């Protein structure tokens, strides 16, 4: 396969050996001699793990995906929150060392343990922040952000871009001499992280995208994606911004790939919304334009980066937990709200109490005919839930018609619902929805109480063309949980397929195999599932519930 074809079909971040003498041959020999083959463990061998992966006694954050030899190698930062179970030397509530898992199907995982240990209090990499993994010059390379929050008080930059190399993806040697920093004339020296490296075939050099902040401009709009270039992966030239739209405080975890004639720039907005977005362009020079729907998911899906197996591309993000393990936590220091419990001083708490770190959720990325991107559940995840659970719809409230063809709820001026059987803690629920004109809302109910007074609602709102996750009861004047909505085109008499994956508190919703919405289920622990309509008429077909 030609180098250009490989780059375009696998990943813009993966490069092939160029044929010249490897610049890192001494490092490769050292690695091969010093590190024997290691024994790995299968996740879940000693404990019942979550279906949506997280390590035992910790949470998954900031995944750096890499594909090689039929496997996705997922480097990540565990979020440790329990001091009694935190490994010695690792920080609580903060990135420390990198760990590694691998998977072929996003269902079964092999844990390889710690692969990139953090440094000590006096070293730049006191915290190993996000980065990227590439193959080049005969070796594998990690570029990551070394973060030492104590350094600014000592007159040193907080962040530096650092380099490590490996011959097998498992054993890594850091190369401190390759560390470099932001250009102080252009960028804030304390905001310089999350490097993404790829080979630019046109320029015949390596490019690196870096999270950065400009020195001038409104403080909350200085976020930019910086550009660095290199001929040898060791010495990097810092250039003017690759993209500086003046929109956000920061653009975290940048990622770049090409599909067909279009380039896609992916980033996670560290501002008011905290979600993963993308931009499109026909050239690396821009302009980088936003489609009508520019995100893969809602508020509860963050820091997604992508990788391809040569045929399909996937987004690897995490569904964040909530610190107080309750729904609708309204705690925001900036807005004067007080959290329900004292928060550790280094937790960056969102307005709904979302944590840094959670459970790994993988979406498959689909390129639509107009070039925009949508997402669907990976086939392997969908197939994993193969054991059907028997159920029977029942009359609930309002006009309900149950037949062999499905359920018809006809309540043009009110509410109607039909509950079914009990929900397992881990299950997949699916149904096909067809609604009549002027229907205001319809969809699935989760964990419904016996008196039908409390439930989670997955609601299609045709008049607003959106998918909403709602809860009843809920606090005061909130219409639904902040950030729990997704745009979707909804037409009467047109089928919409809903698939919902529940794993204890994790809930992942797919609508029509092109729209995704992650959320959490805390307050309602158990209950039944069912269907409903608000002020309209709707039919549900092909309803099914299944487990692993």
CA dihedral sign, ordered 496, 502, 507, 513: negative
Rounded Cα gap, residues 368 and 98, in angstroms: 35
E strand segments, 324-477:
354-367, 373-376, 387-388, 400-403, 406-422, 426-435, 441-448, 455-461, 466-472
- The DSSP code sequence of 258-289 is EETTEEEEEEEE-SSS--EEEEEESSTT---B
pLDDT digits (tens, 9 = 90+) for 192-203: 999 999 999 999
Please count the CA atoms within 13 angstroms of the CA of 462 that sit on its side-chain side: 24
| pLDDT tens-digit map of 483-537 | 799 999 999 999 999 999 999 999 999 999 999 999 999 999 999 999 999 999 9
DSSP 141-176: EEEEEEE-TTGGGGTS-SEEEEEEEESSSS--EE-G
Q: Where are the domains of the chain?
A: 3-38+130-381, 385-547
Domain 385-547, CATH among 2.60.40.1080, 2.60.120.560, 3.40.50.300, 2.30.60.10: 2.60.120.560
Helix (H) or strand (E) segment spanning residue 27: helix 25-34
Q: What is the pLDDT of residues 378-420, one digit of tens each?
A: 999 999 999 999 999 999 999 999 999 899 999 999 999 999 9
Tens of pLDDT, residue by residue over 433-470, are 999 999 999 999 999 999 999 999 999 999 999 999 99
Of all residues in the chain, the percent with pLDDT exceeding 90 is: 80
Kindly report, residue by residue over 273-330, the tens digit of the pLDDT: 788 999 999 999 999 999 999 999 999 999 999 999 999 999 999 999 987 788 875 4
CB 547, CB 385: distance < 8 Å: yes
Q: Among all chains, which residue has been given the structure tokens 């919703």?
A: 509
List the one residue out of 319, 339, 364, 380 whose CA is nearest residue 504.
Answer: 319
**Helix, strand and coil in the chain, % to nearest 5:** 10, 50, 45
Strand, helix or coil for residue 83: helix
Q: Which CATH number fits domain 3-38+130-381: 3.90.1150.10, 2.60.40.10, 2.115.10.20, 1.10.150.120?
A: 2.115.10.20
């Amino acid at each position: 396969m030609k180098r250009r074809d490989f780059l375009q079909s696998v990943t813009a971040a993966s490069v092939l050996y160029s044929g010249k003498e490897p610049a890192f041959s001494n490092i490769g020999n050292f690695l091969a001699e010093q590190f024997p083959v290691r024994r790995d463990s299968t996740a879940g061998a000693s404990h019942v793990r979550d279906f949506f992966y997280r390590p035992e006694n910790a949470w998954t954050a900031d995944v750096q995906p890499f594909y090689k030899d039929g496997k996705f190698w997922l480097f990540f930062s565990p979020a440790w929150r329990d001091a009694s179970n935190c490994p010695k030397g690792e920080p609580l509530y903060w990135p420390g060392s990198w760990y590694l898992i691998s998977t072929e199907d996003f269902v079964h995982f092999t844990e390889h343990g710690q692969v990139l240990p953090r440094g000590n209090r006096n070293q730049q990499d006191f915290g190993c922040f996000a980065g990227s993994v590439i193959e080049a010059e005969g070796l594998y390379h990690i570029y990551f952000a070394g973060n030492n929050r104590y350094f600014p008080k000592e007159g040193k930059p907080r962040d530096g871009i650092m380099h490590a190399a490996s011959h097998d993806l498992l054993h890594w040697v850091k190369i401190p001499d390759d560390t470099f920093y932001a250009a102080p004339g252009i960028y804030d020296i304390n905001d310089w992280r999350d490097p993404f490296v790829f080979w630019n075939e046109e320029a015949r050099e390596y490019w690196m995208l870096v999270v950065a902040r400009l020195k001038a401009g409104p403080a909350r709009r200085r976020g930019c994606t910086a550009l660095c270039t290199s001929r040898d992966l060791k010495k990097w030239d810092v250039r003017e911004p690759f993209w500086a739209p003046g929109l956000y405080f920061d653009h975290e975890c940048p990622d770049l790939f090409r599909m067909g004639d279009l380039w896609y720039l992916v980033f996670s907005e560290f501002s008011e919304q905290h979600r993963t977005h993308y931009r499109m362009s026909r050239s690396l020079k821009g302009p980088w334009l936003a489609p009508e729907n520019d995100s893969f998911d809602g508020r509860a899906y963050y820091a997604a980066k992508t990788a391809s197996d040569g045929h399909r591309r996937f987004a690897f993000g995490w569904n964040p937990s909530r610190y107080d393990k309750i729904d609708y936590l309204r705690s925001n220091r900036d807005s004067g709200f007080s959290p329900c419990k004292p928060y550790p001083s280094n937790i960056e708490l969102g307005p709904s109490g979302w944590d840094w770190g959670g459970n790994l959720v993988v979406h498959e990325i689909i390129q639509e005919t107009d070039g925009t991107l949508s997402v669907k559940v990976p086939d392997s995840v969908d197939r994993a839930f193969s054991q059907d659970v028997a159920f029977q719809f029942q009359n609930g409230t309002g006009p309900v018609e149950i037949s062999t063809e499905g359920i018809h709820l006809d309540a043009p001026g009110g509410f109607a619902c039909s509950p079914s059987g009990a929900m397992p803690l881990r299950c997949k629920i699916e149904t096909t929805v067809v609604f009549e004109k002027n229907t205001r809302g319809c969809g699935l109910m989760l964990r419904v109480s016996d008196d039908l007074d409390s439930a989670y609602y997955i609601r299609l709102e045709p008049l607003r063309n959106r998918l909403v996750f709602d809860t009843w009861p809920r606090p005061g004047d909130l219409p639904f949980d902040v950030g729990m909505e997704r745009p979707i085109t909804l037409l009467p008499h047109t089928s919409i397929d809903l698939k919902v994956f529940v794993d204890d508190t994790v809930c992942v919703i797919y609508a029509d195999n092109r729209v995704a919405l992650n959320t959490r289920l805390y307050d309602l622990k158990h209950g039944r599932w069912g269907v409903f309509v608000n002020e309209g008429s709707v039919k549900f077909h092909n309803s099914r519930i299944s487990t692993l």
